[in-house]
Amino acid sequence: MFIKSYFDRWNYTMLQRNPTSFDIKFLSGELNEKLKNARVQKVFSFIPGKRKENMEIHILLHIPSKGTHRLIISPGKIFLTKKPVVHDESSGNFALYLRKHLKSKRIIGIKQHNFDRVVIVEFEENYLVCELFGKGNIIFLDKEKNILAIRTRKIWSGRALTRGEKYIFPPESDSIFSVKKEEFAKMLKQSPKMIVAFLSAELSAGSQYANAICNMANIGKAEICSRLDEKQADSLFRQIKALTNAEKKPFVVEGENREILDFYPVKIPQAGKKQFKESFIDAVEAYCIQDCKMQEGGKAAEEEEKEVKKRDTILASQMKNKEKIEKKISKATNAINAIKQNYQVLEAILSDTNNALLKFKISEVRQKILTAKKTGKAGNINIIENIDEKTKEISFVIDGVKFKFSLNKTIEQNLALYYDELKKTKAKIERLAAVQKQQAKTVEKKHKKIKAKPVQVQKQWYHRFRWFFTSNNILAVGGKTAQQNEEVIKKYAKDKDLVFHCDIAGSPFVVMKTSQAKNEPTKEDLYETAVFSAVHSKAWRVGIGAIESYWVKREQVTKKAPSGEYIGTGSFMIYGKKNIIKTVLEYAIGFADRRVIFGPVDAVQKQTGKFIVIIPGDVPKTKLAKQAKEVLAEKLNKEEKEILRLVNVNDIENALPGLSGNLK
């Protein structure tokens, strides 16, 4: 269950748009390009709402020169982000198993299996298979496709997802990418389905793209496949190919309050207000990140990101220097070996050259050597590459090894120079290794100094109202003032939404956004929203312990007053049946996932065992907030207490209902 927190702004809305097979084709290609050779740093899990079926796997990846990214795999979704998304500090067995076997492993590639909603992440020794259909699953395999670990064990006839079994991919189906024109026409004739359902299910197009194809072909999506004529079938097939061959132009669709409603990899007509993105990875992230619980975007996250960048920059510079030094070591070592193996020949050449310089100019000696090499009568002189007149150095090449002697020094002195160079460069390598070790310690210490802090998410349109999410993740929004009541009903209450209210002064109008919900509201959802409406009414202020609340359909709420009457701002007329719910006015304050949370007692209790209950009473809110913070702190461990200490007591006060209350 998701509970309102006025200062952490956690939004987990169970976004309903999951990537389709069409989306995954583009997304997997971009992920493969971006994440190839990325290395796993750690693996965590996160269970939104403490519901195991919602479990996410967070893989922290280091991308060379691009820093740390997080690959998040959740039911039906896979996306990449650099944002500081919160994970559970104590991960479950599956995440720990992946962490143990994937730490420091390199990603070889990422691909989509056929045209299915299956993404395969290949590592050096393993595969991670992400099944994104249905409730989703994650399967960890060895190179022989044996199942080593699995998030959720499942068994069907002919297919078993259990540890030790050979992994078998889901049955293949046709797709809009593979279907041929003749085959498509035949399938249409034989199908009794509506065209939108046929395209979505039989050809794995997904409802978004099935609707788009129908719109582009100017054919009603409810038309029955078998009743389409040849011209309509041709039109549909042309639009399928137009879609599959469309130029990649990723974008998101924005709502009226700039929330992200949808995402597409190619330009689609009738898609709404578009905001184009640089990549499809960015588009999917913009949508999915709304569903995530975020760390505080302040100093802790910024400092961690700076440390990552700083470490990468230093490491890159040190590696570059190390390569240069190693080349010098190799060059000096090869030169020493060549000199020792050809000592007598080199000594004779050096002696003969110096004797010649007593009679001739250095330029004349150089010319005589070059001439002798051209005629093929040079003998041992062939190993001489050149004589530099300015530096008075003679260059040699022996079996590809190049080195120089000073003509002013003996062979022993020249050899000693190479030994000195080798000694110096080896000392540099040792110093560099020491610096790298110290740098690693420094970065580690700085990471340890980054204290845990309360977390927050990006602002959403409903944050300026009273709001919470029900146990089934349905958003409920209520006004704080008469003006906000007016706005909530007129602007945000849509068809199919439910409206909650109490027949007592000061009660907010609370809109349950069932129009955006995946499932119908349960009795638990209705009761929670009724309580939410009641605790923020005048009933709390006057000390009433229980009160009736009710809900109606959106169309029952109107500003039309009976003749001769006037309805003021924030007030409405209700026509028709009122669905009465008896509520008990209790509110809870708890601590879960590094944040303070508020909500009905049962809701908070599902989130955490660390909570307190408040009821209507006479202790002023300012004093009550301080008391609540102190009593709650007694239930927390040392780290949690430090986080709670950083929470401003005014934030707790602002989140409490009414003007006063008591600890129960």
Which residue bears the tokens 């050597």? 369
Contacts of 57 (CB under 8 A, 6+ apart): 43, 44, 45, 72, 73, 74, 94, 95, 98, 138, 151
Asked whether the predicted pLDDT for residue 510 surpasses 80, the reply is yes
Q: What is the pLDDT of residue 171?
A: 86
From edge to edge, which strands make up the β-sheet containing 401-406? 384-388, 393-398, 401-406
pTM: predicted TM-score of the whole model, two decimal places = 0.50
Q: Tell me if residue 562 falls in helix, strand or coil.
A: coil
Asked whether the predicted pLDDT for residue 151 surpasses 80, the reply is yes
pLDDT over 70 percentage in the chain: 89
Give the span between the Cα atoms of 475 and 127, in whole angstroms: 38
Over range 239-261, report the average pLDDT.
Answer: 86
Give the span between the Cα atoms of 453 and 476, in whole angstroms: 27
Over range 373-386, report the average pLDDT.
Answer: 78
Give the span between the Cα atoms of 208 and 272, in whole angstroms: 12
Q: What is the pLDDT of residue 457?
A: 54
Over range 94-111, report the average pLDDT.
Answer: 92
Q: What is the pLDDT of residue 446?
A: 55
- Band (pLDDT 50/70/90 cuts) for residue 268 is confident
Q: What is the pLDDT of residue 299?
A: 44
Asked whether the predicted pLDDT for residue 301 surpasses 60, the reply is no
Reading the block at residue 240, the tokens are 């399928």
Over range 170-184, report the average pLDDT.
Answer: 88
- Band (pLDDT 50/70/90 cuts) for residue 440 is low
Give the span between the Cα atoms of 78 and 56, in whole angstroms: 10
Q: Which of 624, 630, 631, 629 is nearest to 661 (CA)?
A: 624
Give the span between the Cα atoms of 361 and 452, in whole angstroms: 77
Reading the block at residue 561, the tokens are 């007053």
Q: What is the pLDDT of residue 3?
A: 30
- Band (pLDDT 50/70/90 cuts) for residue 389 is confident
Which residue bears the tokens 């040392």? 638
Of 305 and 140, the one with more pLDDT: 140
Contacts of 60 (CB under 8 A, 6+ apart): 40, 41, 42, 43, 44, 68, 69, 70
Q: Of 255-259, 372-376, 647-651, which has the strongest mean pLDDT? A: 647-651
Q: Which of 81, 30, 37, 31 is nearest to 56 (CA)?
A: 81
Over range 244-260, report the average pLDDT.
Answer: 85
Torsions phi, psi for 500 (to 5 deg): -110, 145
Torsions phi, psi for 58 (to 5 deg): -110, 115
Tell me the average pLDDT of the chain. Answer: 84
Q: How far apart are the first and last CA of the chain?
A: 22
Over range 457-483, report the average pLDDT.
Answer: 82
- Band (pLDDT 50/70/90 cuts) for residue 370 is confident
Q: What is the pLDDT of residue 14?
A: 37
Q: What is the pLDDT of residue 4?
A: 34
- Report CA Rg, the chain: 36
Of 380 and 123, the one with more pLDDT: 123
Give the span between the Cα atoms of 139 and 128, in whole angstroms: 6
Q: What is the pLDDT of residue 219?
A: 92
Beta strand pairing call for 159-161 and 260-266: unpaired
Asked whether the predicted pLDDT for residue 383 surpasses 90, the reply is no
Lowest average pLDDT, out of 20-29, 229-238, 366-375, 529-538, goes to 366-375
Asked whether the predicted pLDDT for residue 6 surpasses 50, the reply is no
Contacts of 485 (CB under 8 A, 6+ apart): 478, 479, 508, 509, 569, 570, 571
Q: What is the pLDDT of residue 581?
A: 94
**Could you give all domains of the chain from N- to C-terminal order, each with its CATH number?**
21-173 (2.30.310.10), 181-291 (1.10.8), 311-430 (no CATH), 461-663 (no CATH)
Over range 125-140, report the average pLDDT.
Answer: 93
Lowest average pLDDT, out of 36-40, 177-181, 320-324, 445-449, goes to 445-449
